[in-house]
Amino acid sequence: MSGLPVITEMKVIPVAGYDSLLLSLSGAHAPYFTRNIVILKDSRGRTGLGEVHGGDAITKALEEYIPLVVDSDLGKYRSVIQSLKRIHEKSARNSEGIQSLSLANLKDVVHAETAVEAALLDLVGQALGIPVCELLGDGRQREDVVVLGYLFYIADAKKTGLSYINENDTSNPWFARRREPAMTAEAIVGQARAARDYYGFKDFKLKGGVLSGEEEMRAVELLAKEFTDARINIDPNGAWYLEDAVRLCKGSSLSYAEDPCGGERGYSGRETMAEFKMATGIPTATNMIATDWRQFYHATVEKSVDIVLADPHFWTMEDSVRIGQVLDHWGLTWGSHSNNHFDISLAIFAHCAAAVPGNITAMDTHWIWQDGQHLTRNPLKIRDGKIHVSDAPGFGLEPDMDAIMKAHELHNTLSSGDRNDAMAMQYLIPGWKFDPKRPCLVR
């Protein structure tokens, strides 16, 4: 035995939270989003927390891990994670990050074991009295992690007749703004201002692939005019054809472009992104064409990507930091992608970012759309556009079991469709329809 405690219990708790009617290539976000929470207990009575994407397939994968985790020696946590990874490899289907009209396929790219890895690291950190970031890669590289303001087009939830959350009674201007429609470039700038005023963001990303490329790039230019020092990025999730992406972005104010184009006419996204870079001189980022080591190899050979958005939920925490180290050695850049998440994932992102060496890009987070729906008593805060990663042992989070059980009850009220594909085009936006030829929403 290692002298560290033994894991005595592993709970898997599927949970749900509320969301705005955010739009992306995949359609409209449903009124709810789902996640899976892992809670580990050790023989010294400590609690470790982990979080990963929602969906029944991921809940089941996590439940299958329980016999491999319970009774294991915390000091051998790396071997435990390896044993879980082997199960994932066996069951992995096609590990694609390609976002399409159905997000249900996300389960194939998500590494469910990240939730267990996070909870184990939380416990090891607590046992040793050090923060999780000290256990990753070469240990802590920074105290503060820069995050970007993630902007979305929002449709009018009132017109859907669905139970979207409203925050009419809030006195917080950002909380009020985030539930209101935003379908024009001017409204996106207003959204950015409200997010900046509350969180202090310096950099912004606009989720594109929703309206016409021209209208979305108009929003980019308005943002650049208003936030003159900001790094501005657009992410149409590969929706634009290469020719259109080049025409739209060349000479623009973008600091970089995230998945501006994808596979077309027999060329893969790795090839079209390389051509986009050559044609525009604009650096590219991705969470779609370099989502595992093999894809990363091909993306590197093609020189298609400058910034790899290595979401720890897609890579595991250890591998997200490992690829960050490789990127730094090669003069490339690490960042992270995100989906809707709770505060445990916020800590997972922040501790990875704190451990990646070099000049990383501002990290994505959807947290601003969920802020207020805490599963812990002391969620990390975004201030001045940054998250401070303290020296508190582990993640330094205290679970709020009442909030977790409430989120679990909400999850149990959802239909199977809502639990498993809470972002599909199942809620068409009144007055708009999807034009597959362009592809974007049109009135």
Furthest-apart CA atoms within the chain: distance in Å: 65
Helix 293-302 / helix 269-280 crossing angle, nearest 10 deg: 40
Active site residue 337: yes
Residue partners of 424: CB distance under 8 A and separation at least 6: 26, 27, 30, 101, 102, 103, 104, 417
What per-residue string of b and e applies to 386-401 under the rule 16 or more CB within 10 Å gives b? Answer: bbebeebbbbbbebbe
- Which of 287, 345, 370, 420 binds ligand GKR (CB under 6 A)? It is 287
Active site residue 88: no
Residue 271, H or E segment: helix 269-280
Strands 433-435, 386-388: pairing kind: unpaired
Residue 203 binds to ligand GKR (criterion: CB under 6 A)? no
Residue 365 binds to ligand GKR (criterion: CB under 6 A)? no
Task: Mark the segment that binds ligand GKR (CB under 6 A) among 65-73, 195-203, 314-322, 335-343.
Answer: 335-343
Q: Residue 114: which of Mg ion, ligand GKR, none does it interact with, CB under 5 to 8 A by kind?
A: none
Give the span between the Cα atoms of 261 and 272, in whole angstroms: 7
**Among 337, 351, 366, 374, the one annotated catalytic:** 337
Radius of gyration of the chain (CA): 21
| DSSP character at residue 429 | P
Q: Judged by CB, which is closer to Mg ion: 84, or 110?
A: 110
Residue 207 binds to ligand GKR (criterion: CB under 6 A)? yes
Residue 345 binds to ligand GKR (criterion: CB under 6 A)? no
Residue 59 binds to ligand GKR (criterion: CB under 6 A)? no
Task: Mark the segment that binds Mg ion (CB under 5 A) among 112-120, 230-238, 407-415, 427-435.
Answer: 230-238
Residue 235 binds to Mg ion (criterion: CB under 5 A)? yes
**Among 29, 41, 207, 386, the one annotated catalytic:** 207
- Which string of x and - marks every residue 242-261 that binds Mg ion (by CB under 5 A)? ----------------x---
- Which of 41, 177, 179, 337 binds ligand GKR (CB under 6 A)? It is 337
- Which of 99, 316, 320, 373 binds ligand GKR (CB under 6 A)? It is 99
Question: Under a CB-based contact definition with an 8 Å cutoff, are residues 429 and 154 in contact?
Answer: no
Query: What is the secondary structure of 93-116 as a DSSP string?
Result: --------S--GGGGGT--THHHH
Judged by CB under 6 A, the chain residues 393 through 422 that form the site for ligand GKR are none
Q: Judged by CB, which is closer to ligand GKR: 239, or 414?
A: 239
Tell the residue number behind the tokens 């050559």, with chain if given: 278
Residue 365 binds to Mg ion (criterion: CB under 5 A)? no
Helices (H), 200-241: 213-226
Tell the residue number behind the tokens 């594109």, with chain if given: 208
Q: Judged by CB, which is closer to ligand GKR: 338, or 361?
A: 338
Query: Which residues contribute to the site for ligand GKR (CB under 6 A)?
Result: 22, 24, 99, 207, 235, 237, 287, 337-339, 364, 423
Residues identified as active-site:
207, 337
Query: Which residues contribute to the site for Mg ion (CB under 5 A)?
Result: 235, 258, 287
